[in-house]
Amino acid sequence: MKLMLLIPALMAVTVQAALAAPVTYEIDPTHTYPSFEADHMGLSMWRGKLNRSAGTIVYDKATGAGSVDVTMELASIDFGLDAMNAWAIGKDFFQVDQHPQATFKGRFDGIKAGVPSQVVGELTLHGVTRPLTLTVHQLKCIPHPLNKRDFCGADASGSFQRDAFGLGAGKDWGFKMAVNLRIQVEAVARE
């Protein structure tokens, strides 16, 4: 009799564990564009984006736990001005021949109702790694309409001081070093 009462409880635990499994999502590079804005001599804000990125997100929708691992190709920087793009990837700034990529790796935190409010991690840029926390403004998952796999999208932002990464160009001319980073990402569950 005790065994008969125990079986439904074990089945419920098994079903709950299956539903709470973390899923790995591949970032869709055609719908993911890390963008940024930075000061230009205190006069205006330069805005741009990185056109090539890749990576994975691991997310457990039931618990909200997960992680992010994103790689951004610095040679794909796009200010909307070719001369600025060429300068940024050259010897006076990113030095993409020595530091071709930036990476962000973090874990979900501040979870409420299965949705994280932030990603706590580290940004590696120009060969330097520093802590960076991103605020999650939105995270939503739906069935992908074409391939019928789980599909998630998010919007997150944070800021950092670029001179902390050895990128102090313009500081002596009064440029502010703060960079506002915004990441719009879409990712599809692996098959």
**Residue 42: predicted pLDDT:** 87
**Residue 147: predicted pLDDT:** 84
Cα 85 from Cα 48, distance rounded (Å) = 9
CATH number corresponding to 24-189: 2.40.128.110
**Residue 121: predicted pLDDT:** 97
Q: Can you give the pTM of this predicted structure? A: 0.86
> Which residue ranges make up each domain of the chain?
24-189
The tens place of each residue's pLDDT in the chain, 191 residues long, gives 544 444 544 444 444 444 569 999 999 999 998 999 999 988 999 999 999 999 999 999 999 999 999 999 999 999 999 999 999 999 999 999 999 999 999 999 999 998 999 999 999 999 999 999 999 999 999 998 888 899 999 999 999 999 999 999 999 999 999 999 999 999 999 98
Which two three-digit tokens encode residue 15? 């079903």
List the one residue out of 118, 134, 125, 109 whose CA is nearest residue 71.
125
Q: CB-based contacts of 140: which residues, under 8 Å, 6+ apart?
A: 152, 153, 154
